[in-house]
Structure 1
Amino acid sequence: MARSLILPPPEALAGQWRMYPEGAAPQVCGLELLLQSPRVSGDLECIAGWLGERPANWEPTPDGLWLYGAEGTGIVHLNRQKADRYEVRLKNGTVLVLVRDTP
């Protein structure tokens, strides 16, 4: 039976997140998805080390979320794995993980 993907509202994804490469002793970078614009803030230089560019904006998609650069071009699409967990496999084979930062 087919299942429709539903576009989550930005409010459902806004907040504090952590990004890190999957594997042993990962370096963790903080990322905040803001509703205004919608912009991103946090340790953007750390994240740019993996993506090659600083993310500036974001947008939810039915199957994940896009991170965009300052010029509005898509840097990376992270695929939703389960609630509050997104992943992308980079060209070098590294899997980047984005998880909601739970207190």
Structure 2
Amino acid sequence: MASSLILLSASDLAGQWTLQQDEAPAICHLELRDSEVAEASGYDLGGDTACLTRWLPSEPRAWRPTPAGIALLERGGLTLMLLGRQGEGDYRVQKGDGGQLVLRRATP
């Protein structure tokens, strides 16, 4: 039986999130907001976005939901990273060096 990917809305995903490599102690705290950023064709990304430059070529300014997961975007809308949905509140991407970046919804 075939299955379809579900495109979650920005309001479904809005909130506090953390991103870290594997189980390393360094954690980036992010806020996915549901306010639009027109020039990036996405939504506002807040929190410690500068922290992400350890893995990305530039600091992301926005994000958008995709059928496969969550894309982090530069100011002009170019996708810097696509994190694939693994489960409820759990998104991952495999790095070239074998490490894995994990984006998780923060627990209150």
1:98 counterpart residue number = 103
Provide TM-score, normalisation by structure 2.
0.88
Q: Does 1:82 align with 2:87?
A: yes
Provide TM-score, normalisation by structure 1.
0.92
1:71 counterpart residue number = 76
Q: 1:6: Cα distance to partner?
A: 1.5
2:34 counterpart residue number = 35
Q: 1:53: Cα distance to partner?
A: 1.4
Aligned length in residues: 102
For structure 1, which runs of at least 5 residues remain unmatched after alignment?
A: none
Post-superposition Cα deviations, 1:50-74, rounded to whole Å, max 9, x if no partner, equal: 1221111111011201110112111
Provide the identity percentage: 41
Q: Does 1:20 align with 2:25?
A: no
Moved more, 12-21 or 45-54: 45-54
Q: Does 1:50 align with 2:50?
A: no
Moved more, 85-94 or 14-23: 85-94
Q: 1:26: Cα distance to partner?
A: 2.6
Post-superposition Cα deviations, 1:40-94, rounded to whole Å, max 9, x if no partner, equal: 0111111111122111111101120111011211101000000000000122322
- RMSD (Å) for aligned C-alpha atoms: 1.1
Write out the 4+ residue segments of structure 1 that deviate beyond 3 Å after TM superposition: none
Select the structure that is richer in strand.
2
**Secondary structure of 2:35's aligned partner:** coil
